[in-house]
Structure 1
């Protein structure tokens, strides 16, 4: 199946409903998603009946090689805008992430509306996308198994570096986000940065690999003391029951409620300080997510993380995360035990 054409056709149908004649993309992964060309400099993709990508001169070789959409060398804004207007286009949709400085270049010539047409398509992963995420997860989990954290003889930053190196040695193009490998009281910070210090307890590792452009994401917390085990067991119950509750037709916020309510029952509701999960794909954070704010209906083909956590300020934190693909229920990607 030609997924690029399918996605373009679906976007054009959504545009027609909103009476938008063209849709401007500048976000690299959105352009890659619908054309297979990932810009390295800058690019303007105009989705319309005859879509076109204006690529920078330095990108023309790679764009001509990879893009399923016609490519033209970018000259200047005035030329691009003139060519769009010559087609009679007056209503222009833009990505919400479009830089304001770029918006200013278009606002006087078009009626502009912010739309998430590509995000809507990216919610449902194709079989090949799921295979890439599965491979990225396999690479990341293999690297984690090869990492020696049990001796606690190395520093956080060195071990984080070693984990990235192992992922690359196992086939990753790079890490899918800055690896978090922290210990002791730093684990109470959800986005802590590895320090040049010997490992304390507990040890929290949040890591992912990138393969063929697609991300993976896992978190494991290694606990030692009685209190750490107590918190771990609560987070594990929240993690497991949330995953078991996932099925098509429910709202994403309902899964967040399942996960959050368990932690609340144990008296730690105020210490669960982020959403239960997020989608991933070409980007590490995509939509929808398991959040109390997100009433998106869960559908087959979505790929979403489940990552409840409890964070005791200045003491320690525990987070457990797996990525699931939605089938008749939720199937965990990978086979790494929680402990």
Structure 2
């Protein structure tokens, strides 16, 4: 609880440096990070001294419970968030109000301007997100718990007679296993693709029967507000020589990228370590996405690990390493793991199954 209170006060102390007297936080992930509030409707108004969480009557009891012990933020239950916000802005004497331009719709921005005449507005991008990139010990523990639950889902695939299942049937089975193991929800819609459809990086599962060949499962769970994200590519039936070759190239790219991860290293260098392996093997055109991304409260957040990324890795960041090769009309392979950046090197958080797994 103290850590969350400190997060709010730290952001509050930064407002003056941005030339604003108050800040409106509308991104629910940022609100959760700062306050611990888990509801689906809220706005957070911050001044230099503290803040107010504005929500509706549905979250009166929940909000009070989740803010307990966090004196930096007070709860305001209201019918009109902008009406209550107007009173708070006036009481605080705010002349310029900051807002999150990336999460506030244009219509909402116009409504703000109309409601608060005489108040200036300034978009402050990344104010909270910049703090979320480096995880504290409690956040890393939450991510580890999510990974441990997701692992049960991946392990369950090897116990299935997949040739008697459809893609969506396997996806439903995996989700049932992880939810039974404690997952609060899925990080995203589970990806299951069979045979030629594995050439689609984000293929949604269909009612088609699973066939011999590659089988890609990309899945993550949400637990305690934090996400996991992991991909495994299996082979159903005896793998061909080319399947082994392509899998081996992706595995080498994956391992080279992980070997390159360390605090102080540019994220683009991690991408280059993986991409150079795939390019040298002649599959450069078949690897179109970045090598990874940050994971936390959101399944995709900073830093970006791609060829144009300007981010530099810091100790405490949690990122994915997920190179892939996708060949239209044939199939594809992706291997994705989550790693914790250390002062020297990294720790692979996701365990096992990186080697080619054959389902018979």
Looking at structure 2, the residues matched to 269 and 150 of structure 1 have their Cα atoms a distance apart, in angstroms, of: 34
Match of 2:46 in 1: 47
Matched, 1:118 2:128: yes
Match of 1:74 in 2: 78
Matched, 1:332 2:337: no
Match of 2:175 in 1: 164
Query: Of 87, 92, 112, which residue of structure 2 is paired with 1:106?
Result: 112
Matched, 1:208 2:199: no
Q: Contact 1:207/1:218 (CA < 8 Å) preserved in 2?
A: yes
Q: Contact 1:152/1:198 (CA < 8 Å) preserved in 2?
A: yes
Structure 1 residue 91 displacement after superposition: 2.1
Looking at structure 1, the residues matched to 149 and 272 of structure 2 have their Cα atoms a distance apart, in angstroms, of: 32
Structure 2 residue ranges without an equivalent (≥5): 356-360
Larger displacement relative to structure 2 (310-319 or 82-91): 82-91
Looking at structure 1, the residues matched to 126 and 308 of structure 2 have their Cα atoms a distance apart, in angstroms, of: 17
Deviations 1:273-309 (A, max 9, x none): 1111111111111111211232112111100000001
Secondary structure class of the residue paired with 1:152: helix
Match of 1:260 in 2: 275
Deviations 1:204-259 (A, max 9, x none): 00011111111111101113222121111111111000001011011111111111
Match of 1:84 in 2: 89
Secondary structure class of the residue paired with 1:128: helix
Return the TM-score normalized by structure 1: 0.95
Match of 2:196 in 1: 185
Query: Of 152, 155, 158, which residue of structure 1 is paired with 2:163?
Result: 152
Match of 2:358 in 1: none
Q: Contact 1:93/1:115 (CA < 8 Å) preserved in 2?
A: no
Query: Of 122, 130, 140, which residue of structure 2 is paired with 1:130?
Result: 140
Structure 1 residue ranges without an equivalent (≥5): none
Structure 1 residue 150 displacement after superposition: 5.5
Q: Contact 2:268/2:307 (CA < 8 Å) preserved in 1?
A: yes
Match of 1:323 in 2: 338
Matched, 1:221 2:233: yes
Looking at structure 1, the residues matched to 46 and 346 of structure 2 have their Cα atoms a distance apart, in angstroms, of: 34
Looking at structure 1, the residues matched to 186 and 121 of structure 2 have their Cα atoms a distance apart, in angstroms, of: 40
Looking at structure 1, the residues matched to 233 and 138 of structure 2 have their Cα atoms a distance apart, in angstroms, of: 31
Query: Of 277, 299, 302, which residue of structure 2 is paired with 1:284?
Result: 299
Looking at structure 1, the residues matched to 14 and 194 of structure 2 have their Cα atoms a distance apart, in angstroms, of: 47
Structure 1 residue 330 displacement after superposition: 1.3
Structure 1 residue 24 displacement after superposition: 1.1
Return the TM-score normalized by structure 2: 0.90
